[in-house]
Structure formats: C-alpha cells, structure tokens
Amino acid sequence: MRDVIVFSGNAHPGLARRICQHLGVPLSPVDIKRFSNDCLQVQLLANCRQRDVYIVQPLVPPTQDHLMELLLMIDAARGASAAQITAVIPHYAYARSDKKDASRISLGGRLVADMLSTAGVDRVLTMALHAPQVHGFFSVPVDHLTAIGALADHFRGQSLDDHVVVSPDLGNAKTATQFARLLGLPVAAGNKQRLADDRVEIDSIVGDVDGKPAIVLDDEIATGGSMIGLLDKLGEAGCPSAAVACTHGLFAGSAPQRLQAHPLISEVVTTDTVPPPADWPGLQVRSVAGLFAEAMARIHIGESVSSLFDGVDPRHAPPQLSLHFADGPVSQEPEQPTLPRQPEPPGSPAGRVPSHPTRTAQEVSA
C-alpha cells in the first residue's frame, strides 16, 4: 500500500483517520489557509507523484467551504502528478438538487459533479445518494456504497417480534423494502408532501402499524421536520414506539433536541459519514470506515467493489468475504480483509479489520 496516499480536509478528519487505520496507511497532512480576502489556499504536504491519491471530504456544513477545500485539494493533487485521484465523498449534499421541480431552478447535483471533473478527479466514491439518478450526473466512474447492511446489523441482535419497517415517503419505499427483507419484517410508508425545506405534511400511513413497534429508515435527517411529522402520524395510527435509523445524521439546528424529546422514539441510529452532534451522548453511531477502506483497497488493486457483497444486490446488503488476493484466499471469518503484505498498526491483530462497530456520539467525537 506504499503507493496509496490519503488526505482529508476539515469536514470530517475523524472518519479519514479511521479509514486509514483500516487500510494500515498514515493520514497525510494538508495545509489549508484562509487569506484576509476570505480566499482559501491548499498545500498537500506529501509526495503525490505517480501515487494513488484519495481525498476524504463529506460535504457537510459549512458546505461551500468544504466543497471548495475538496476542489482545491483535487487541483493540487493533479498539479503534483498524481497517477489517480479519487474523491471519497461519504455525504454528497448536492444530491438533493437533482431535478427541475420549479421554473428556472438550478441543478446543483449536476453542477458540482461537473466541477469535480473539471478540477481533475478520476473517480468518486460515495454512499447513499439522495436519489439514484444523481449517479448519472458524473462523467467519471462512481462507486456507490450503502450503509443499509450496517444499520440492519444494529437491529439483528434485538427482539423484533411484531416490528415493522417504515419509510418516511413513498419515494424511499424501495430502499425500505430491501432493508425490511434483511430483517425479515413487513414494510409501511408515509405519504409525504414537502411544503418547505423544514416543513412537511404527512397525509397518511400506507400499511399496518397499529400496535407494532416501528423502525423508521431514512437516508438523511437534517432539521428533523419530516421525521417529527411522520412520528406524530405513526402515533395517531397506533404505533407504540419507533427506532429511527438513517445513513447521514446531519441533525441541523434544534433537530437533536426535537428528536430526543419525542415520546415515541426509543433510539436513534446513524453512521459516521458526517460528524455526530457533540451534545447527544445517547446517539448510536455505526462506523462505515471499514466499508470505505475495503472499497478503496479494491479500487487500488483493480478488484471489483461489488464483489464485496457476494452475489447479493450490492446496494442493499452488508459485505460478504469472497475476495482472493494473489497470496491466496482470505479468512472467511466475519471480518473485512486489508490488502496483503501490509504491516498492521501497533496493537492490532494481523490481517484483520473490525466490522462496523457501534459507537456513541461521545466516542466518535473523541
């Protein structure tokens, strides 16, 4: 792995460090300066010449600053003669701007994809795009991962008698159905109408939730407006309690307080694609660093990323070990393999990568 160089901007260095721990490579330093005129300057402080460069940067608030950091890091790597540049964007915020649903409206998802290509990126690695058509906005290869398997793992050890998986809207019902199949549960959905960015109206619940504890699955929670509206409607329909699960837990503004105060919520589970709020110690955080590290390792050596999922739809399942490196087959224990011939970090078992640990928000922040 000596030819792999990993950089991170200011968006989520904690995730980048965990990815590097799985890969067994150091996180290379970056110098990011802001001048008096508010312009940014980026300097990569590691040799990139003919190296395989990965830049980890989710697009989280302040989104525009972090986007500009990413573009400048890509440009710096291209100017430093990198052999291949992969933008690792766990949360692609502009995926929500994916269609013209009003006159003279911009398509930010496509514009940002064009900006990344112009900056010089060769490949994008992301997770849980808000809409699948955003994949087609890119003119470079895109590897699209999912956290559905990791989230399902969180609930597998629990008693799920009479539970039901609930999608916040009909558009997300297909993903919720796949999630429900992983847990062997029925599925229901809310009929949602969005009135504003932070205001929605849930007309009704499609499916039987009366007397059944719910697992509400969403791709992203920002202000929590959709989730609160859905939970209120579930309560009216006779649902006694609900666990909330999402991939991207942005929890903007007063969302943590609103969700913690809701009487129907039993727990909230998310992943570390974005930094968790510091004032929510009870938040359950599933790490997806191992998934990203394994995908990056496979991209580096030219192996199939979809073979992580061993014959199951790669969008909706946890990884199954089937990869064979040149040295021979890897262990079939429920661990994720790293690349061969790599010295492990001190104190870690040789050749093993932990699979999707659950952390509290305090542990992830630390």
pLDDT the model gives residue 198 = 55
Q: What mean pLDDT value characterizes the chain?
A: 85
- Has residue 21 got a pLDDT over 90? yes
- Has residue 359 got a pLDDT over 90? no
- Per-residue pLDDT tens for 24-65? 999 999 999 999 999 999 999 999 999 999 999 999 999 999
- From the candidates 99, 100, 174, 192, give the one annotated as an active-site residue: 192
- Has residue 306 got a pLDDT over 50? yes
pLDDT the model gives residue 79 = 97
CA distances from 16 to 20, 113, 182, 249, 273 (A): 6, 22, 29, 17, 10
Q: Which CATH number fits domain 4-146+288-329: 3.90.1150.10, 3.30.360.10, 3.40.50.2020, 3.40.640.10?
A: 3.40.50.2020
CB half-sphere exposure, 218, CA atoms < 13 A: 25
Average pLDDT over residues 67-85: 98
- Has residue 96 got a pLDDT over 60? yes
- Per-residue pLDDT tens for 240-294? 999 999 999 999 999 999 999 999 999 999 999 999 998 898 999 999 999 999 9
Q: In the structure, what pLDDT confidence band is assigned to residue 339 with cuts at 50, 70 and 90?
A: very low
Indicate the domain borders of the chain: 4-146+288-329, 148-272
Average pLDDT over residues 314-318: 46
Average pLDDT over residues 309-330: 43
Distance of CA 70 to the CA centre of its chain: 17
- Has residue 1 got a pLDDT over 60? no
CATH, range 148-272: 3.40.50.2020
DSSP per-residue codes, 275-333: PPPTT-TT-EEE--HHHHHHHHHHHHHT--SGGGGTTS-TTSS------EETTEEPP-S
Residues whose CB is less than 8 angstroms from the CB of residue 101 and which lie 6 or more positions away in sequence, other chains included: none
- Has residue 320 got a pLDDT over 50? no
pLDDT the model gives residue 364 = 54
The residue ranking higher by pLDDT, 97 or 212, is 212
- Per-residue pLDDT tens for 217-233? 999 999 998 899 899 99
Q: Annotated catalytic, 192?
A: yes
- Per-residue pLDDT tens for 122-176? 999 999 998 878 988 999 999 999 899 899 999 988 999 999 999 998 878 888 9
Sign of CA dihedral 330, 335, 337, 338: negative
Average pLDDT over residues 9-26: 96
- Per-residue pLDDT tens for 186-201? 999 988 766 555 566 6
**Are domains 4-146+288-329 and 148-272 of this chain identical in fold?**
yes
